[in-house]
Structure 1
Amino acid sequence: MPQISVERSGNVATITITNPPHGFMDAATVAELDAATAELDADPAVRAIVITGGVPGVFIRHYSVRELETLARQLRERGVAVDPARPVPPRDIDRVFGRLETTPRPVIAAINGFAMGGGFELALSCDLRIAEEGQYELGLPEVRLGILPGAGGTQKLPALVGTARALEMTLRGRTVGPAEAHRLGLVHELVPPGRALERAHQLAAEIAALPPRAVGHIKRLVRAAGAVPRDEGLALERTLFLDLLLSDEALERMSRMNADDRDIRDA
């Protein structure tokens, strides 16, 4: 049985994780997400993507620990050893999460329930996160299993809450409710129960109505901030600024604003 479904409404696509086993992500979930995100990323008609959970009270609870245990036993039987000087190559899950970060379309997580471990790392890979009020938890509790957040959590969490807070949360394996997640900046907005998907669609439609080339360039630049030297980032910024300035759409919008003497907020 498929674990995800994809629906399109105009230029907004919604990925719903409809049938994860017991709310857990596993290899089958990742494979379906890989196929769906690759297809949407290649479709110029799609200008925004929303991701949500289809199980009541669950975005994705976390990655399947049964699957992780099986993998660990298989690797140990094969005598696999790890050398930090020889990094492990990217996996399917890394490709999926990386695609969400690099696609020029905004990706919005409509968090409707539990999002821990790999589920929270999926949310962290999105550009915006909308969370419903409720009795559920978000965070990275992997240390309690003797492992660590292995799909980007240790790298992305500090960018949201700072190094000190990220250390406190990951070293303790501390998860938080949606209200505290909002206070900490883990999610952008907190909405009443049952409203996350609606609000995510509103934001997706708002951004999808804006010039897609400008949206893509802005996302690329902001995502790269801090990951590249400042001079390199500034050089790319002024280059992409000129690229947009010379575009037909920008010229048309600027001309219309000037002709009508509009405020820039109404352009």
Structure 2
Amino acid sequence: MEYLTLAIEDRVAIISINHAPANALSSAIVEELSQAFDQIESNEEVRVVLLHGEGRFFSAGADIKEFTSVKNGKAFVKLAQNGQSVFERIESFPKPVIAAIHGAALGGGLELAMACHIRLVTERAKLGLPELQLGLIPGYAGSQRLPRYVGTAKAAEMLFTSEPITGQQAVQWGLANHAYTDEELLPKAKELAAKIVKKSPLALKSAIELLNYSKGDSYYKGVEKETVLFGEAFDSADAKEGIDAFINKREPVFKGE
């Protein structure tokens, strides 16, 4: 794999995202994540998965430059459906998945983190869904997962303002489990994983299956609708303006078109 490394330590599979400088979540990384989970699922030695980012960030968002190569909204819908499928697999994966988040988890990066069963963060980490700043909306089920963790009102605030929250706030809001210093994050994540690997794999698989029943039919209908609106947003003039403004590091001017 080009952008991910996979190592196994003490029955814990450690997946590291390594796509400098921001670990932007490109379609290639999403595909490699799918491949990595294929390997892990068939490996009986692995009991827990730990996901983190190398360098400065967990993942600072989607690969916006990649968006410029997407031809139209229909292609954008397929991009969303693929990401949703991989992230749904992570959330329903039969082995516990822990995200260790430092630096930033934004946009697609936060959507990936929210698909993990447990999220550990650094106190100063930034977590957010800034897609509306680009004239877009979340496309990897972020619009449906975020309110499940923080409630509708706080999810609305995060989406409407595009402003991230800190790791400490994420814990207070229910988006993350625990916040640590930068130095503590990975050791604490491995410590938690070590506790989990002692549990029965069959019981863990059953617990994960039961937790996923909490999502319900409306969740999946919302996810399906998200892909449709994701494609419509991409075809809009506002999205073109937002993406161009991001690439050229200027403030976008949206006209509602």
Say yes or no: TM over 0.5: yes
Q: Tell me if 1:100 matches 2:99.
A: no
| Pairs within 5 Å for 1:48-127 | 48-55=48-55, 57-71=56-70, 74-75=71-72, 80=74, 91-127=81-117
Is the 2:81–2:140 Cα contact (8 Å) retained in structure 1?
A: no
| Pairs within 5 Å for 1:129-168 | 129-134=119-124, 136-168=125-157
Aligned to 1:43, what secondary structure does the other structure show? coil
Aligned to 2:121, what secondary structure does the other structure show? strand
Partners of 1:211 and 1:37 lie apart in 2 by 20
Q: CA RMSD in A?
A: 2.2
1:16, distance to aligned residue in structure 2 (A): 0.4
Is the 1:3–1:20 Cα contact (8 Å) retained in structure 2?
A: no
1:84-105 Cα shifts (integer Å, max 9, x gaps): xxx8696332232112111111
Partners of 2:10 and 2:211 lie apart in 1 by 26
Q: Tell me if 1:194 matches 2:193.
A: no
Matched pairs, number: 218
Partners of 2:111 and 2:216 lie apart in 1 by 18
Under a length normalisation based on structure 2, what TM-score does the superposition of the two structures give? 0.78
Partners of 1:164 and 1:193 lie apart in 2 by 30
Partners of 2:168 and 2:177 lie apart in 1 by 11
| Pairs within 5 Å for 1:234-249 | none
Equivalent position of 2:226 in the other structure:
none
Q: Which has the higher contact order (CA 8 A, sep 6+)?
A: 2
1:137, distance to aligned residue in structure 2 (A): 1.5
Is the 1:51–1:109 Cα contact (8 Å) retained in structure 2?
A: yes
Is the 1:34–1:92 Cα contact (8 Å) retained in structure 2?
A: no
1:161, distance to aligned residue in structure 2 (A): 0.9
Partners of 2:138 and 2:90 lie apart in 1 by 18
Is the 1:133–1:192 Cα contact (8 Å) retained in structure 2?
A: yes
1:81, distance to aligned residue in structure 2 (A): 9.4
Partners of 2:128 and 2:142 lie apart in 1 by 9
1:164-197 Cα shifts (integer Å, max 9, x gaps): 2111211222211112112111110001112211
Structure number with greater Rg is 1
Is the 1:37–1:96 Cα contact (8 Å) retained in structure 2?
A: no
Partners of 2:121 and 2:79 lie apart in 1 by 33
Output the amino acid matched with 2:45. A
1:10, distance to aligned residue in structure 2 (A): 2.5
Taking only the aligned residue pairs, the percentage that are identical comes to 33
| Pairs within 5 Å for 1:211-222 | 211-222=200-211
Structure 1 residue runs of 5 or longer lacking an equivalent are: 230-267
1:22, distance to aligned residue in structure 2 (A): 3.9
Structure 2 residue runs of 5 or longer lacking an equivalent are: 219-257
Partners of 1:70 and 1:203 lie apart in 2 by 41
Partners of 1:64 and 1:43 lie apart in 2 by 31
Equivalent position of 1:7 in the other structure:
7
Aligned to 2:138, what secondary structure does the other structure show? coil
